[in-house]
Structures are given as structure tokens and as C-alpha cells.
Structure 1
Amino acid sequence: MVQEKAGLNSQRLKCIMAQRSSKCPRRPPKSVRGINYIERMPPEITEMIFSYLDEGSLFCLSFVNKHFYELAENSVMWYRFYTWYRAKSKTSRLIKEVTDGMDMGSIQEMPNGYWRRLFFKELIGHDGSWKWKKKLRSINFYTGLPSRTAKVIRDLELMWEITVRDARGRENRIKHSHVYFNRASLTVVWNSGNWPILDKPTTLEIHGVRLLPIYCPSTWRPGCRSLLKTVVVKKEGGKVLASDKLISLLYIEKGVTIGVWQKDQEIAFVLVNLHYHKLVERHFRGSSTISYEPIERQASYNDIDPEYGLHGYTLHLELHNGEESIASLKFAQLYCRKDKIYGEFIPLHVISAENSSGHTPLCEKIRLPWQTESLQGHIEQCCMFTLTVLTEAQTPFWCVTAPVAITKSNRQDVSFDYDAESFFMEYQDSDGKLEIQLEWIENQKQFVMVNMLVFLSLRKVNSHFRCNYIPRDI
């Protein structure tokens, strides 16, 4: 009896084990585990499989592992992409010229990556510049700049990155975090990254990156880099514009501003202002090491007008904080008489303190917001400005965008229209100066612009208009 029960139990156990083995597949033997079947495939089969991929998928495949990288470097496949792209703009009679008359042996003799680089170079060469040039022909009457610059930049999917190079020559590339578009400029923000401490000089190279038009995630898509700005950041360099409890805002040059932690003297974020004037051209015609500088065309000589180059100026000024506009102003028919030229600059009176009808109130709060990976805040009485000065022919003459701080004035000027504190904003570079006087109206809690002067470089005016104006002695 006991033996019969034991036999039944053993039969049931065998049935249960058989059911489990049918549901759960057996593990492969150790001798088969870890075998890469793709590596064991004949190269003809893998090449046939990869031939069904487009150029973007083939390029992304090279990031999987070392073996896939070697397979994705196949010269024959990239040669096909190269000849197909060139043949699109050629006729059938020129197909031999397109394929360069090369046989299969000559194609495979080229080093790995040769045809891929040539194909990417062909894509860069046919950048469709005639399309964006056509879009930039339309001029905004208010700003005097191409009205579709922001749309062209968005359509081209332009990106920006900073190359940080320390004193030892080590490099670190950081992609931008945000970009804010304004009427006449854009602000690019880097609020995260491995930033150095400012104990030694650090070089910042700002590049515009134009991604190639292939189907591939933007993280891995190849691109063409164009150098926009190069600045050197030092511990005692730059100009401290303003600060709060945590951050000091340091203006370097060329529209580059950095936020520095007051405690550690380490970069917290970077702001770069880019004016729309020739901005798209600078992304297309520059290289990774040399920035594109547009050629300034001289005005045609006019020997009839004795004050040619001293009148007919138009000015557009926008105050903003990157995220939103504070004020957008336009002034036309600005001029300067010969007897008012003193020193190295030509003054243009934009807003006069004596004419109260031209005084312009600003919004209630003027502050510059900032943000890092973990903290955010704002700096009071600080903003950015974008200035565009147009000539009589409505062509850009002086274009600049940079941060500016509101500082309390030490002048003892008496204002008969306002019983208020006086403040000022100012900026200067080699091409001109901007001076704005403001009055703080306490009961209204706002600033009023009561005086504005723009100074143009006498050297630049003489060069552009082919004149020879001489400043009067003071």
C-alpha cells in the first residue's frame, strides 16, 4: 500500500515537472550563452540588411557599440548616399561626373568614414541659402530689420553651445538651456553645466550649431559649428553690473554676461545677447574657428548736401529682461549740427529734458530674472537693451544688445517737472555711447525716461559717409 502511494506521488511529480517545463522555456546551454549572432553573420548579409536603412538611421547605428560602428562605416553605402544626393541636381548625361567614374575597388580603398564626411560636406554645401535669403528680404518697418529672422532661426533648428577652455587647455562643451526671442535680438541662456572656478583665466567660445537635415534625434544628429563670440573670463575682469544676495552679474564684452556665485566665485549661468542684424549669415558663413564679420558697405558719396551723414537717423530701442519686453521705442529724424561735434562722438538728442511731452514712463518693475539647476531669483534695477540705429537710407549703422543697470545719479541737476530721485543707464563701446536719464516717481512707483542721448563714433561716420568732419575745440 505504501509502495503504491509512493508510485502515485512520483508520477504526479513527473507530471507537474513536465507541465512547468512546457510553460517555461529551457535556458540555453552555457556553450551558447553570450554569442553575438550579428557578429557571426556573413558580411554580405549584414550589408544587405543595412542597405535598407536611411542615412540618419545608419549614422545613429554607429553609437550602439564598436562592432556596429565598424559596420556603419561601410564605404559602399555612404558612397551610394553621396552619389544619390549629387545626382538629384544633375542630369542623366552627367551621371558619370556625379559618380566620379569610380569602380567598386576604388570606393572600398578609401579610408573609413571618407564617403560619410564627403556626404555631410555635400549636405552643408547645399544648405538652401536661397530659401532663407528670400525670407529675410521682408523688412520690419518698426525695427528696420528683417521681419522673419526669428521664424527662420526656428525653422533651421539652430542651436548654441559654449566651449569652456581652462588654462590647462582642457575643453568642455555645454549645450544651451533656453532661448528667448525679442523684437530685434535673442537671448541664449546656459543655466547648467560643469563650470570652472574663476581662479585662473577661462576662455568661452560661443558657437552656433546648424544641424544637418537628416532623420536623427537632435542629441546625436551631426551639425556644422560657426564661431560667434570668443571671450576670456578672469577673476578681476569684466564689469560688475548688479548683484543680489547670491549672484553677481558680470558683463564681459560682446554681449556676454555671466552670473557668478558670490561665495565660491564660480560661474552659475551664462547669458549671451545676439542682435538680429546679419545673425543668420553669421551662422552659415562662419567656421568653427573663425567668426564671420559682415562687410560694412559705404554710402554713396554726396557732394550736394553739406551735412551729409549728420541727419536722417532712425533709432529703435527695446528694453527687456530676456523673457518679456519692458519698453519698445522708435525715434525718427535724428540729427546733429556741425558746430555740435565735440570730441570723438557725434551726439544725437533723442529725448530732451526740456520737452516734457517726450518723456516716457516705464513699467512698474525692472528686474532681470536668473535661474540655475536648483535655484532661481532676480536682480533688481537691471535689464537688457537692444539698440538699432539706421541711416537716412534705413540701413543698419550701429547695432548692439547688452545688459544695463540702473544706477543712482550723483548729478545735482534740478528737475522742475518731477520731485524725484535721478537715476541713469549708460553703455559705451568703440562704435558709440548710450546715455539715459531716469526719474523715479515714488507715488506712481515707476521710472520715467526724461533724457536720452546717443553718441555715434565720428571715425565710423566719416568712414561710412566718406566725409571729413572735424570736432570743434571745447
Structure 2
Amino acid sequence: MPSEILLKIFSYLDAVSLLCAGCVSRRFYHLASDNLIWIRIYSTVFLSKRLNCKFSSVDETAASVSSLSVEDKEAGYWKKEYITKQISSVKAALVQILKPVSPYTGLPIKTKEALRISGLGWAIVLKEKSGREHIIQHADLSLNDTSVTVSWYGKNWPCLAALSTLDVCGVTPVFMDRYKPPAKYGPQWLSLIAKYDLSHLNNSTMIGCDKLVRIFCLNPGLLVGLWQKEDGLAFIMANLHFHHLVERSILGSATLPYVLPTHSPFLDDNPEYGLQGYQLHIDMHGSGIFYLCSTFHNLLSKEGCIENGYVKFMAINFKNNKEHLPLIGKPGLAWKTNVFDGFIESCSVIDITLLDEYRKPFWCVSTPVSMQAVSCPLDGPNFVGHTYCVDYMDAEGGVHAELVWIEETEEFFIVSLVLYLSVEKINYWFGTKY
């Protein structure tokens, strides 16, 4: 078919259809990048809003925007301009949606709405040692109160021994219409959230197992399931906290993560500044089942309670029975693939949302954890029942919980909950020195 006829046909297509047509062949790619076609689309969407007009044909567009020197631009110039401006408008719209903040959690009120209307999803990029890449879109996700759990599974995983790293990326449609669902196969862009080294999968990172799989935890918040017999990938599960989740999922690039805005310390002359007034919200759940949802107000630490570079805050004291909290059911983590599903006992996900005294997010994390049996509660008396502990620690903070299984009522009680915050983090945040 002559190029002139194809250009005429392409002039009736919308942006998404043009980009899809450009993937057919090199000839189609060149024709579908025609500047006259794209300047019409660009002008209709952006210029017509300011000029209160609409261009109905390529000829009208060329006549109206002759000052833009369409023919002087390199091939594909106006396609790139249109895509760039569309991406910018999507980002700006989402930033506006996320402005209202909850006074209780310190997190954007409309995070779930932003995820829905943006068509935001997540993908993993598995990289082989040879350099080959495998991009896999998420198979399932569940929204929690302060986090989202994203899962990947399938039948055609690459060989685990050949893999070197795994990237978790946000995937956003280039063209967003808040009143219409995004095109399923339209153009998208990636934003790197976290990068993981798969060589770190070893016994020290294994947190649980059942008859079919073993699960490994890689910080931050990644769960990798391997088959018991084949030692191959069964599933991958990422736990992403809502704090700056949309920004991290759309404002980075495929190779560089989003960088948080520079923090200005809250300066004060009070020597106890940074050791009081915190609010902790903690959830414990496993694939849609919630075992704990609780908030602790006005947490403080006495000066001198520093252990290995971390300040200690007591949320639940084992000596005070009134503070002890029951869990709803027995903690466990449900998993599934295309063929099998299962339930791993004593494993779960904890979401930690810690606010400073101004109710601003100070430390937020979502991570898999496991319950480990201990002979007796640390630094405390013996309780009637088997005792377990849950631990998590990273460079900014950590949590230690002790639980007792009560045989008579068949339920777990949290008898101790201790929060640890990095001295370096506190000094940076409040401009203090401990």
C-alpha cells in the first residue's frame, strides 16, 4: 500500500492506536511518527484548551500551527513532545489527588483512589547473569489499610540459577483519563522501586516453609517462594507501604528510584526533643486476613535508653497486664500459584507507620516476619504458655514483639512490644545530637 494512503489512514487514529501501529514494522514506525499527524493530536489536547478550538484535520492543524515549523523538526519530534507532556500531566494530576492527608495516619487520604484512576500496577524485572531480562506484570494484588501486597506467579519462570538480580518497578499508563479505565495494552513507563540481589537467598533469609515451598525474605519487603523439590521460583510477593508509594511508583525511571524531597530538621532547644510524642500504628496480616490492628499514642523514651545505636521505646510493657493485646486467630501467610496454593504458619506481614509529634510520617515499613519460639520472654518472668518472638530491624528502626500462646482460650497475646529508632535517624530528623 502506498505510504500516502497509509498516512491518510493513520491520521484517523488516536495516540494509543498510532503507537501500537508503530510496533508492526520499521516502515509503520516511521509513518506512525509523522510530525503532521502528531502535531494535530498535540494541538487538539493541549493547544485547543487554551485557544478554545479543535483541529479536525491534518490540513487545519498545519495551517494553524505553521509558526511551530513542523517540517523543520526531526521525525518523531511531536510524538515525543506529546508523550512527554502526557506523562507530566499524569504526574501532576496524581500529585493533586494525594495532597489531602489523614490526621490519624499521616498518609494521603486518597491513595487507593489514586491507584485506581491512574491504572498503576507493578512489574518485576528478572535479570540473568548473561544480561537477558524478563519483565513480568503482577498477577494479583490486595489493598490493606496502609500497604499493598503484590504477587507474581506463573508457569514459565526463568531458571533461578541463571538469575542475578530482581527489580520491583511501578508500571503506569502514559495516557490517563480519570473517567475511563486505562488501555490494557497501551504505552507504559517504569519507575524503579527497589533492587534485590538474588544471590542473598540462603538459610539466613528463610523465614518459613510448608510441604510445597520455602519462603525467603529480602529487605525491603520482598518475599520469594521456592519449590521444595526443584529449587525453582514458585512465586514472588512484594509488600509496599503506602508512604510515598504513588510517588515511588511513577516519579522514578526504569533505572533510578524516586528520591524523597530534602528534609528540613525541626530545630528545638529541648534536650528531650526527638525522644517523645511519637504515634505508632501497627498492622499484622497475611494475604487479606488481619490478626492485629492497633495504635499507640505518645510514645517516649527516657534519656540513656540507647542500645547499639538505637533508642528504645516501650509500646507494650510485659509487667502491665492491661496493655497486653490478643491476636485475632493464628498468624499465617497464604500463598497461591496457577496450580497450587498453601498456608505457611507462624509467618505474616507487619505494617509499621510511625508519626513524629507533628503527625508527620517518620518511619514507615511493610515487611514479612516470622514467629520464633523462645524458652522465656526476654527480660521478663515466665508466662503460662509457649512464648514466641517477632523481630525486624533495618538502618532506620526496628521492632521486637513477644507473644504467648494461651492453651485454654487458644489465642496469642502480645505481652511485650518494643520499638527501636536509629539515633542517626533521630539526629537527622530533629537536628539534635545524642
Residue matched to 1:406: 371
Instruction: Show the 5 A alignment for 1:248-259.
Output: 248-259=214-225
- Work out which of the residue numbers 108, 114, 133 in structure 2 matches 1:171: 133
- Work out which of the residue numbers 433, 436, 440 in structure 1 matches 2:401: 436
Distance 1:414 1:300 in 2: 35
Shift of 1:253: 1.6
Shift of 1:52: 2.4
**Cα deviation per residue 1:299-349 (whole Å; 9 max; x = unaligned)?**
32111x231111101000001113232211100011011132343111100
Compared CA separation, residues 410 and 123, structure 1 to 2 (3 A): same
Residue matched to 2:56: none
Residue matched to 1:241: 207
So what's the TM-score if we normalise by structure 1? 0.82
Distance 1:47 1:364 in 2: 64
Contact 1:50 1:58 in 2 (8 A): yes
Compared CA separation, residues 121 and 138, structure 1 to 2 (3 A): closer
Distance 1:135 1:417 in 2: 51
Contact 2:191 2:250 in 1 (8 A): yes
- Work out which of the residue numbers 64, 67, 77 in structure 1 matches 2:37: 77
Residue 267, structure 1, aligned to residue 233, structure 2: yes
Residue matched to 1:345: 310
Residue matched to 1:324: 289
State which drifts further: 320-329 or 445-454: 320-329
Q: For structure 1, list consecutive stretches of 5 or more residues without a partner in the other structure.
A: 1-38, 470-474
Residue 420 of structure 1 aligns with an amino acid whose one-letter code is: G
Distance 2:342 2:376 in 1: 31
Distance 1:342 1:68 in 2: 65
Contact 1:57 1:216 in 2 (8 A): no
Contact 1:56 1:216 in 2 (8 A): no
Instruction: Show the 5 A alignment for 1:264-303.
Output: 264-303=230-269
Residue 115, structure 1, aligned to residue 75, structure 2: no
Distance 2:26 2:163 in 1: 38
% same residue: 31
- Work out which of the residue numbers 204, 215, 222 in structure 1 matches 2:166: 204
Shift of 1:363: 1.4
Q: Secondary structure at the match of 2:350?
A: strand
Residue matched to 1:221: 186
Contact 1:318 1:325 in 2 (8 A): yes
Instruction: Show the 5 A alignment for 1:185-200.
Output: 185-192=147-154, 194-200=156-162
Q: Secondary structure at the match of 1:463?
A: helix
- Work out which of the residue numbers 9, 16, 31 in structure 2 matches 1:49: 9
Contact 1:385 1:403 in 2 (8 A): yes
Contact 1:418 1:441 in 2 (8 A): no
Contact 1:182 1:322 in 2 (8 A): no
Contact 2:332 2:348 in 1 (8 A): yes
State which drifts further: 114-123 or 434-443: 114-123
Q: Secondary structure at the match of 1:174?
A: strand
Distance 2:308 2:66 in 1: 63
Distance 2:30 2:433 in 1: 65
Instruction: Show the 5 A alignment for 1:26-65.
Output: 39=1, 42-63=2-23
Q: Secondary structure at the match of 2:67?
A: coil
- Work out which of the residue numbers 364, 372, 381 in structure 1 matches 2:329: 364
Residue 106 of structure 2 aligns with an amino acid whose one-letter code is: G
Compared CA separation, residues 73 and 468, structure 1 to 2 (3 A): closer
Residue 152, structure 1, aligned to residue 114, structure 2: yes
Q: Between Structure 1 and Structure 2, whose CA radius of gyration is higher?
A: 1
Residue 125 of structure 1 aligns with an amino acid whose one-letter code is: S
Q: Secondary structure at the match of 2:40?
A: helix
Compared CA separation, residues 461 and 51, structure 1 to 2 (3 A): same
Shift of 1:372: 0.9
Compared CA separation, residues 216 and 132, structure 1 to 2 (3 A): closer
**Cα deviation per residue 1:32-75 (whole Å; 9 max; x = unaligned)?**
xxxxxxx2xx5444433332222223333345667655543433
Larger strand share, 1 or 2: 2
- Work out which of the residue numbers 87, 97, 102 in structure 2 matches 1:124: 87
Contact 1:142 1:330 in 2 (8 A): no
Residue 316 of structure 1 aligns with an amino acid whose one-letter code is: H
Shift of 1:280: 1.5
Compared CA separation, residues 450 and 83, structure 1 to 2 (3 A): same
Distance 2:351 2:378 in 1: 28
Shift of 1:170: 0.8
**Cα deviation per residue 1:212-259 (whole Å; 9 max; x = unaligned)?**
226997342001211111111016546000001111110112111100
State which drifts further: 260-269 or 60-69: 60-69
Residue matched to 2:422: 457
Q: Secondary structure at the match of 1:132?
A: helix
Residue 79 of structure 2 aligns with an amino acid whose one-letter code is: R
Residue 445, structure 1, aligned to residue 417, structure 2: no
Contact 1:201 1:232 in 2 (8 A): no
Shift of 1:150: 1.3
Shift of 1:90: 4.2
Distance 2:71 2:428 in 1: 59
Q: Secondary structure at the match of 2:90?
A: coil
Distance 2:259 2:228 in 1: 36
Shift of 1:141: 3.6
Residue matched to 1:36: none
Residue 88 of structure 2 aligns with an amino acid whose one-letter code is: G
Distance 1:446 1:199 in 2: 41
Residue matched to 2:55: none
Residue 13 of structure 2 aligns with an amino acid whose one-letter code is: L
State which drifts further: 79-88 or 399-408: 79-88
Contact 1:198 1:235 in 2 (8 A): no
Shift of 1:154: 1.1
Residue matched to 1:373: 338
